[in-house]
Structure 1
């Protein structure tokens, strides 16, 4: 890891500047693959493939134009959210999938619930996870429209409260993991050109819906090689 905590081939400072290449001994990769650290990493990464499943679901609906709700028609208007999901590393997918699944599993069955996941760099998005129960008095159409509207409002409020955020991705679903009719909504908010008009409108929505009162962003720490 380099000084930015990124995967890298860090060249020691005392290496002669004339050196232009390095060689790894034969069998180095096989040895790494068999190491206890690598085996623990593979085991810990199992949950990350749920994130892959989400990407496949959203991509399928985009390509087949079968989204329940879409703010922009066509692939061009809806692919950014999938692009951000797919840009996550295997390690980040592990973290995000665990947080999303735990959140949905423990979410209350009688009210809306929200979890905010901070980004670790300006290039990474903030995530908004939302669950909303489907009350008996609501038609399915009204429920999906309401859930999408809440997700949009909460994503916008993230920008209002964290002005430096540039990209926000929201994912909404029903609470609980054993739901046969489980559905997901996803949205991307491009906050790179946020205006004062956007901020004013979001403040109004935030006050009206009582959004982001005493909310705290969720910071996560995990070990890539959990041994």
Structure 2
């Protein structure tokens, strides 16, 4: 529970290359851990359930054949996107869900806001979050199509700018203005390996027209599994 290996998987601690066949535990160690450290981890895991909620919401509609974009966005792509979300372990879900939940709660009502987060567990996997406010005068269908197109365009530019570092792009879009909820989420998968004919030219054109990722800020945040 306390120790991880080079892949951030929990393991027994080892100070040499020799295989461990026996492990000793001090009496009372678990009681102390369960009383002090474990509650802190569980409290900080609460935000990770936002990630679970996205998986459950999309899976429910996936299985019921009620996905909003079922006709123009393949089930294969939805399944692939869901698998990328589902493979993240609990601690990684906490790391990924924290900026997602913050954007859901605090995004402005005036303009779209994008954030990105790399998977802490799997190299080459990037998640893109889009808070997209609804403009007046749009029908539900017009709004969702507009939001979908915005996400698709942005993911194309993400591939253009980070081509050497990203293999898979998974988009999560929702309403902006702090009114987002799990009941209004679209999931999007965009492959970032290789370029089809004219695909790169299209991405360059989109960036020139929109200014996507012309100027962007990167930041890091320390996340402890068992915070003090």
For the aligned pair, the TM-score class normalised by the smaller chain equals 0.7 to 0.9
Partner of 1:166: 167
Contact 1:122 1:166 in 2 (8 A): no
Normalised TM-score (structure 1): 0.85
Specify every segment of 5 or more residues in structure 2 that has no aligned partner in the other structure, as ranges: none
CA distance in 1, matches of 2:39, 2:182: 35
| Partner residue in 2 for 1:98 | 98
Partner-residue secondary structure (3-state), 1:207: helix
Deviation at 1:109, TM superposition (A): 0.3
User: Where does residue 132 of structure 1 map in the other structure?
Assistant: 132
Contact 2:96–2:119 (8 Å) recurs in 1? no
The answer as to whether partners of 2:107 and 2:176 remain within 8 angstroms in 1 is yes
CA offset at residue 35 of structure 1? 3.8
Residue in structure 1 matched with residue 200 of structure 2 by the alignment: 199
- Aligned counterpart, 1:57: 57
The 5 A counterparts of 1:1-227 are 1-3=4-6, 5-13=8-16, 17=18, 21-25=21-25, 30-31=30-31, 34-70=34-70, 71-74=72-75, 76-120=76-120, 123=123, 125-163=125-163, 164-178=165-179, 183-195=184-196, 197-227=198-228
Quick one: distance in 2 between partners of 1:112 and 1:152? Answer: 14
TM-score w.r.t. structure 2 length?
0.85
Alpha carbons 2:115, 2:128 under 8 Å: kept: yes
Contact 2:159-2:166 at 8 Å conserved across structures: yes
The alignment's C-alpha RMSD in Å is: 2.7
Aligned residue pair count: 223
Alpha-carbon distance between aligned partners in 1 of 2:22 and 2:129, rounded to the nearest angstrom: 44
Is this contact kept in 2: 1:171–1:185, CA < 8 A?
yes
Q: 1:20 to 1:158 in 2, by over 3 A?
A: same
Secondary structure of the 1:222 match is: coil
Task: Tell me the secondary structure at the aligned position of residue 68 of structure 2.
Answer: coil
Helix, strand or coil: the match of 1:187? strand
